A and B are shown apart, each in its own frame.
Chain A
Amino acid sequence: MTTTVRTSSLLAISDLTVRFRLPDATVHAVTGIDVTVAPGELLAVVGESGCGKSVLAHALLGLLPANAAVTGTALLHGDGAPIDLLTADDKILARSVRGRRIGLVPQSPATALTPVRTGRRLLEETLRAHGRPRAEADTVAAGVGLTPADLDLYPHELSGGMAQRLATALALAPDPPLLLADEPTSGLDRPLVDATLDVLRQRCDNGAAVILITHDLAAAQRVADSVAVMYASRIVEHRPAAGFFAGPRHPYAHALLDALPDRAFAPIPGHPPMLTALPAGCAFAPRCPHAADDCGIQPGLHPDVACHHPIGDRP
């Protein structure tokens, strides 16, 4: 965050870059990400499918496939020395970071839940593994809107929305200071979307931090403190949510907001570039109405928008 002064940070990501080596090409999945997340902050990472936002989440959890090359640092602060999530030993990540210090709300909860145990068993096991009394299961479940009766069902007996809430409850059970939510609302209808988002918001209000990865701008607008827009593997704009939604400065962010049905409902012409063949300069330039000669040079994120001609600077 560059526009507000943070006294402490929970997660400091610096120059995070992820490449996938393919037999005939290199996928530039994530490029030069610098982001800091403070306790109590809800950061929404928005962008269209294939822009790299999910890879970012997987990199932070150390869950990338074998052909991925990761560079940069992602320091997770807490009690004691900070841990670099990108270089830490996988055993340490598995034992003391994933689940315990970083919770994950997965994209498709139906496949993430063990089918042979009831929600209660799953939740109680998670609570016990993290040294909390099993009796708290009902309280944790109630926090996400599940009744004690719902907990006694098996995953296949749950509707999509209930499965999502159970997955959220499991992620919350260890009370992690940082929660990663990867498209937690996909496939849910609006009341369930709002309920899930409110649970995330409440986490932040109680001092935890949440990174919400979503393509749903309305969801981001509802709960986010700050918004990072990703386009073609880079963050192109990163600002406090209120200012962003009132007046986006990057032409892509502006066009994306203008595409919302309650705004202009206007599509963006053209296609995003392939992550295997990114242009040398600004990746949005070929689709951008404000593009000029200098857009052939990659703009840096200065201070909060990566554009040579940000909206609001022109007469």
Chain B
Amino acid sequence: MITAEGITVAYGRRRVLDGVSLSLARGETVGLRGPSGAGKSTLLRVLALLHRPAAGTVSIDGTAITGTRYTVPAAVRTRIGVLFQSPRAAADPRLSLADIIAEPLRVARRSDISARVADLADTVGLTADLLSRRPHAVSDGQLQRACLARAFAHTPDYLLCDEATTMLDAATQALIATVITDYQQRHNAGVLIVTHDPALMTRWADRTLDLADLPATAR
């Protein structure tokens, strides 16, 4: 269980989140909606330990996490996978798709990197000829598949998706959702999806939260 309690985030004077609490259990798919600019993405980044809130704590299985980004131990960070809205922005343009997927494995000094990359690529339906290409030579949908494979690299217990299919065509969206659901069932992972598409939310999420209705413990 990953839990956020009393999360407050402000950019300058503008308070984006005000004491918001939310929890995500393993095995469930939670949908998060709310108007644009309401702080959905910010809340997701806080849960992913990428953004330090002004107040509030994130805990995993009851253990409060101190720090954000580099100050969180790598073993804790890699328990949470993230899939971003724009695959173009989330992929280093200089690296091939194979390198993009391999990067987290290299960081962890895994020995079986090439086999693992092939395995991950297969999971998301990327063929060998696509793996050798760089981001500019593949479509948004193919690049997002590579980003998903990268997010799976350390077999995270939780996967957070920030409008991850908004920019993709229907076929790729359905594929990404199918692959994530398969992964979730195999590894009993908790999945959070942020989306503004009501049809997608209804179809994909077990339960739906509206950011405006979330309990505000620290108000």
Contact = CB atoms under 8 A, between A and B. Distances in A.
B172 A260 contact: no
A67 to B, nearest CB: 15
Interface string B32-62: 0001110000000000000000000000000
Contact of A188 (B36, B203, B204): B36
Interface string A185-200: 0111111100000000
Interface bracket on A: 20 to 34
Dominant secondary structure at the B interface: helix
Contacts of A269: 125
A262 B199 contact: yes
B166 interface: yes
B36 A159 contact: yes
Given A191-B35, A265-B177, A255 B204 contact: no
A2 B68 CA distance: 60
A47 interface: yes
Given A259-B171, A261-B204, A267-B178, A189 B35 contact: yes
Max count, chain B CB within 10 A of own CB: residue among A49, A188, A257, A272: A49
A215 interface: yes
Nearest to A50: B139
Nearest to B179: A267
B184 interface: no
B173 interface: yes
B154 interface: no
B127 A271 contact: yes
A255 B174 CA distance: 11
A48 B202 CA distance: 23
B169 A265 contact: no
Contacts of A49: 139-141, 167-169
A259 B168 contact: no
B175 interface: yes
Interface in B116-172: 125, 127, 130, 139-142, 166-172
Interface string B178-209: 10000000000000000011111011100000
Given A49-B139, A50-B139, A192-B36, A261 B169 contact: no
A265 B140 contact: no
Interface string A91-106: 0000000000000000
Band of interface residues on B: 20 to 34
Interface in A156-179: 159-161
B98 to A, nearest CB: 16
Contacts of B175: 259, 267-268
B167 A190 contact: no
A259 B36 contact: no
A88 interface: no
B202 to A, nearest CB: 7
A191 B42 CA distance: 21
A262 B174 CA distance: 11
Contact of A259 (B125, B142, B170): B170
A301 interface: no
A266 B173 CA distance: 9
Contact of B139 (A188, A192, A217, A272): A272
Interface of B: 35-37, 85, 125, 127, 130, 139-142, 166-175, 177-178, 196-200, 202-204
7 contacts: A48-B169, A160-B37, A261-B199, A262-B203, A266-B178, A267-B172, A268-B174
Interface of A: 47-50, 159-161, 186-192, 215, 217-218, 255-257, 259-262, 265-269, 271-272
Given A187-B85, A259-B171, A266-B174, 19 more contacts: A48-B139, A48-B168, A48-B171, A49-B139, A49-B140, A161-B36, A187-B167, A189-B35, A190-B196, A215-B168, A217-B170, A256-B169, A260-B174, A261-B177, A262-B202, A262-B203, A267-B171, A268-B175, A271-B130
